[in-house]
Amino acid sequence: MSLLETKAVTKTFGANRAVDAVDFTVRAGELLALIGSNGAGKTTLVNLISGLLRADEGTILFAGKDVTRQTVNQRIRAGIARSFQLVNLFDGLSAVDNIALTIFARQGKTRSLATLAARDQAVAEEAMLILKEFGLAPKAPTLAGGLSQGERKLLDVAVAYALRPKLLFLDEPTSGVSTREKAPIMDVVTSIVRSGNITAVVIEHDMDIVFRYSDRIVAMHQGAILADGTPEEIRRNEQVTTTLIGTGETR
Ligand SMILES: Nc1ncnc2c1ncn2[C@@H]1O[C@H](COP(=O)(O)OP(=O)(O)O)[C@@H](O)[C@H]1O
Ligand SMILES: [Mg+2]
């Protein structure tokens, strides 16, 4: 069953058709990789789905409901969450408080930014549990600003996950981290998808990571979908390999 379906969704910036009549489908329970060169329209598509941008044309259906005109907050409540290409953390808060802040927001509560987790036992426990799932428990008291780049990217995914979404968009969760730190991030993403009721769409440039971790791959080019298939199918798709991977050879 498809969890998300866009129909002819379109966004133009002046004369630039950044997302051009895209039909994009995400099936429940899959880990989908969204690939494409810079400027292909990946982030814009995610912005349209998460509600940061309004579609000029087209329809977005989530869990069978039309969310095209819903606000970001309505879509978050419906179960759509996303992380950003650049991390979106409060550097002056500890790792555990970054998570706690999201849990409070999810619960519709507001808290002063000081000692968030300490104020609410249940929230503190849930935040610690999430940190554990992400292998970050030892870093709970560390200020986000003092974490390594890999840890920051992990924490950023954890913050989006703390919204308890049904559909989680991760915009380049491994960008800017060392090759060695990429696998732990993708291992966690795989584990939350396999163990929970989460469906994930990961925008990723590293084709080794894409082929290794994704169930399905959607390739975008110049605002349109160029290909959609299993890693094996995409590996054999010459149009993708010449346009996106650039070598004309599959690995
Ligand atoms: N806010 C914006 N204003 C104007 N042009 C934009 C904006 N966001 C994206 N674009 C343009 O839309 C196209 C798609 O961008 P983007 O979705 O960021 O691509 P990707 O994430 O695949 O690299 C690019 O040509 C980009 O310059
Ligand atoms: Mg992008």
Within a domain: 113: no
Angle CA 31–35–41, to nearest 5: 120
In this structure, is residue 37 part of a structural domain? yes
Please determine, for residue 248, whether its predicted confidence score (pLDDT) is greater than 50. Answer: no
DSSP collapsed to 3 states, 57-92 = EEEEEECCEECCCCCHHHHHHHCEEECCCCCCCCCC
For position 170, what pLDDT does the model report?
Answer: 95
Mutate to test the pocket of ligand 1, among 16, 19, 34, 226 (most ligand atoms within 8 A of CB): 16
Instruction: Note the pLDDT of residue 1.
Output: 73
Q: Is 128 helix (H, G, I), strand (E, B) or coil?
A: helix
Highest mean pLDDT among 72-86, 101-115, 139-153: 139-153
Cα gap 106→161, rounded to integer Å: 11
Interstrand relation of 31-35 and 216-221 (parallel, antiparallel or unpaired): parallel
Domain that holds residue 191: 2-89+164-245
How far apart CA 38 and CA 56 sit, in angstroms, is 22
The residue type at 243: T
pTM of the model as a whole = 0.92
Q: How far is CA 102 from CA 58, 78, 164, 201, 216, in A?
A: 31, 16, 10, 20, 29
CA of 85 to the centre of ligand 2 (A): 7
211 CA from centroid of ligand 1 (Å) = 25
**pLDDT given at position 110:** 66
Is residue 245 predicted with pLDDT exceeding 70? no
% of the chain beyond a pLDDT of 70:
94
* Torsion 71-199-251-218 (CA) sign: negative
Is 61 a member of any domain?
yes
With a 6 A CB cut-off, is 50 part of the ligand 1 pocket? no
Would you state the pLDDT for residue 67? 98
In a domain, 69, yes or no: yes
Q: Does the beta carbon of 17 sit less than 6 angstroms from any atom of ligand 1?
A: no
Q: How confident is the model at residue 243 (pLDDT cuts 50, 70, 90)?
A: confident
Residue 247: what pLDDT? 47
Q: pLDDT digit string (tens) for 124-158?
A: 999 999 999 999 999 999 999 999 999 999 999 99
CATH number, position 195: 3.40.50.300
Report the domain count for the chain. 1
Ligand 1 neighbour 53 (Cβ under 6 A): no
39 lines ligand 1 (CB under 6 A): yes
- Type of residue at 146: G
Determine, yes or no, domain membership for 103: no
Residue 250 resides in a domain: no
Residues 162-201 have pLDDT tens digits of 999 999 999 999 999 988 899 999 999 999 999 887 999 9
Q: Is the pLDDT of residue 225 over 70?
A: yes
Q: Whose CA is nearest to atom 25 of ligand 1?
A: 39
Which whole number is the average pLDDT over 90-115? 82
23 has pLDDT over 50: yes
Q: What are the distances in angstroms from CA 105 to CA 86, 101, 125, 160, 166?
A: 21, 6, 16, 11, 17
The per-residue b/e assignment along 117-130, b for 16 or more CB within 10 angstroms, e otherwise, is beebeebbebbbeb
Q: Is 110 helix (H, G, I), strand (E, B) or coil?
A: coil
Q: Please write the tens of the pLDDT for every residue from 37-64.
A: 999 999 999 999 999 999 999 999 999 9
Provide the token pair at 222.
Answer: 């110049």
- The pLDDT value recorded for residue 251 is 37
CA nearest neighbour of 203 among 52, 48, 51, 46? 46
Q: Is 141 among the domain residues?
A: no
> C-alpha 19: how far from its chain's center?
18
Residue 195 lies in a domain: yes
Kindly list the protein residues that place their beta carbon closer than 5 angstroms to ligand 2, a single-atom ion: 43
Q: Is 36 in the pocket of ligand 1 (CB under 6 A)?
A: yes
Q: Is residue 204 predicted with pLDDT exceeding 90?
A: yes
